[in-house]
Structure 1
Amino acid sequence: MIHKSLTYKNIALSYCEQGQGEPIIFLHGFLATANMWEYFTKHFSRTHQVFSVDLLGHGQSECLGYIHSMEDMADAVYAIVQENQLENLTIVGHSMGGYVALAFGELYPDIVNKIILVASTSAADSAERKANRDRSISIIKKNSATFIKMALSNLFTDENRINHHTEIDNAIIQALQLPVQGVIAALEGMKERTDREVLLHFAPYTINMIFGEYDTVMPLENTLQQLQGTTIEHSIIKGGHMLHIDSKELLLQSLDTFINKKAE
């Protein structure tokens, strides 16, 4: 794995690259970094050129402003794509990374081959969800460490907190290193993101979706509704929102199936 960075609008963008072949770009979720994909990028780098990106204000990528819209993040990813002269992209996005993937697909459809959403949605925030994000921002401004520990811990069941305590602790440690500005900017961007359900019906590229059966952030019954009237293939995994931790092998199997499936 090669760690790289480039200058974009006077800030540093960080990403990792490994392998050769058709390109896959992995986009992490809120409070995570490119490192969350390490197990998966190691696997796919045997057959593909794999990139895992630190999104704006996360990992080693710096903050661009006080609101990082999903389009801002997608444009930053596009700078990495241009730097490496990539096309025919497969983009895998977890949660917030899925929002960014759809924004990218809307902005740059000609270079996208496939988008795979993991524990994510095409829908915009509901009024209730927006209010929750505003509350989160208020808490972060007072005590970001308390918010981060609580937010990440709440993504797991009691059983999984025990079974995966090392990975959860590591995720919290990494999240605590993120700049408060970056955390708030991401929340602001997610709060104002555009509804992109139309892409599920009319995108000129393949979209696949992977859901966690016990996801409390995005309940299955809600996320499945957006698939009505579409031809999108999806899989449901026994796991929660953080499938890359609590259902690692099952997620790898689903990704393997979707990434290697040729268009019919």
Structure 2
Amino acid sequence: MVLDYKNATISYSDQGKGTAIILIHGFLENATMWKEITPQLTKKNRVITIDLLGHGKSDCLGYTHSMELFAETIEAVLKHLRIRKCILIGHSLGGYVALAFAEKNPQKIKGLCLMNSTSIEDDNERKKLRSRANKMVQNNFTNMVRMSFTNLFSEASRTVFKDEMKLALAEALQTPIQGYIAAQEGMKNRPNRSPILAENNFKKLIIIGEKDPVLDHQTSLEEAKKTNSEFVVFPNGHMSHIENKEELITILERFVKLC
């Protein structure tokens, strides 16, 4: 299904009945990342997956996709579907978007799960890396995507989940360069949204990868404690939906029931 937002096409799916769960994918991903998880959650819930701007089947909208702009597209889909309250589950970039949505619409949220994500803004080193990547990707998109995507997995997972990683990489390579650059610019400039977690009473869960190469797991543990968020630590990297799929499904089903 598609929705027009500011003359850009937003692609989404809507399945099942019950509590509305919004699944928001990460950078260089799209709604297909949830294909193993959606069938489980739709047994007792209504599950909406959305392709973020510049990803999957959704159009780009300018050259900076801020977290606020991404969140506005989520809001537009929910309004179109007449959903008043929901549970947000966001992977990586999707978590940043979920927080931006929560900042503007706290009353619409029953629960928020940051999956391999954080409410903390980029430090200066990370901002420089994003700027550098945006320059490099214009000359060698395929190698840049392949390198950055492979590095999201723990070392052991790169062998164990070789086939799954290959399929996910193929999806990542479908991302347009404009979508890559616009998302990086948006992530680079996002603010610290820790107070959104700390000050709201909806259910909160942070899923942490012990060997996550992007997010230091000790920092994530401290973040969970400071924001009064429940947390779960998986033994692998940044891609919990592949590296710890069965455990993740169990955890998400439990979280949804508690919301």
Q: Which among 237, 242, 248 is matched to residue 239 of structure 2?
A: 242
| C-alpha displacement of 1:170 | 0.9
The CA distance in 2 between the partners of 1:84 and 1:57, in whole Å, is: 22
Tell me if 1:191 matches 2:188.
Answer: yes
SS in 2 for 1:169: helix
The CA distance in 2 between the partners of 1:258 and 1:164, in whole Å, is: 26
Structure 2 portions without partners, runs of 5+: none
| C-alpha displacement of 1:35 | 0.5
What amino acid sits opposite 1:12 in the alignment? T
| C-alpha displacement of 1:229 | 3.6
What amino acid sits opposite 2:247 in the alignment? L
Tell me what 1:25 maps to.
Answer: 22
Which stretch shows the higher mean deviation, 158-167 or 124-133? 158-167
The CA distance in 2 between the partners of 1:42 and 1:85, in whole Å, is: 22
What amino acid sits opposite 1:165 in the alignment? K
| C-alpha displacement of 1:204 | 3.8
| C-alpha displacement of 1:171 | 1.1
SS in 2 for 1:227: helix
The CA distance in 2 between the partners of 1:196 and 1:64, in whole Å, is: 24
What amino acid sits opposite 1:194 in the alignment? P
Preserved CA contact (<8 Å) 1:34 1:53: yes
Tell me if 1:85 matches 2:72.
Answer: no
Structure 1 portions without partners, runs of 5+: none
Tell me what 1:48 maps to.
Answer: 45
SS in 2 for 1:208: strand
Tell me what 1:253 maps to.
Answer: 250
The CA distance in 2 between the partners of 1:252 and 1:159, in whole Å, is: 21
| C-alpha displacement of 1:193 | 0.3
1:1-264 alignment runs, 5 A limit: 4-262=1-259
| C-alpha displacement of 1:222 | 1.4
| C-alpha displacement of 1:88 | 1.6
What amino acid sits opposite 1:22 in the alignment? T
Identity of aligned residues (%): 39
Give deviations 1:87-123, integer Å, cap 9, x for gaps: 2200000000000000000011121111111000000
The CA distance in 1 between the partners of 2:59 and 2:96, in whole Å, is: 19
- TM-score (norm: length of structure 1): 0.95
SS in 2 for 1:215: coil
Q: Kindly report the root-mean-square deviation, in angstroms, between the aligned alpha carbons of the 2 structures.
A: 1.1
| C-alpha displacement of 1:131 | 0.5
The CA distance in 2 between the partners of 1:256 and 1:236, in whole Å, is: 16
Preserved CA contact (<8 Å) 1:210 1:254: no
SS in 2 for 1:51: strand
When the two structures are aligned, how many residues end up with a matched partner? 259
SS in 2 for 1:56: coil
The CA distance in 2 between the partners of 1:230 and 1:13, in whole Å, is: 32
What amino acid sits opposite 1:147 in the alignment? M
SS in 1 for 2:57: coil
Give deviations 1:211-239, integer Å, cap 9, x for gaps: 11111110101112223343221111122
What amino acid sits opposite 1:209 in the alignment? I
What amino acid sits opposite 2:252 in the alignment? L
SS in 2 for 1:226: helix
Give deviations 1:169-209, integer Å, cap 9, x for gaps: 11111111111000100000000001001112101422211
The CA distance in 1 between the partners of 2:90 and 2:33, in whole Å, is: 11
Preserved CA contact (<8 Å) 1:200 1:230: yes
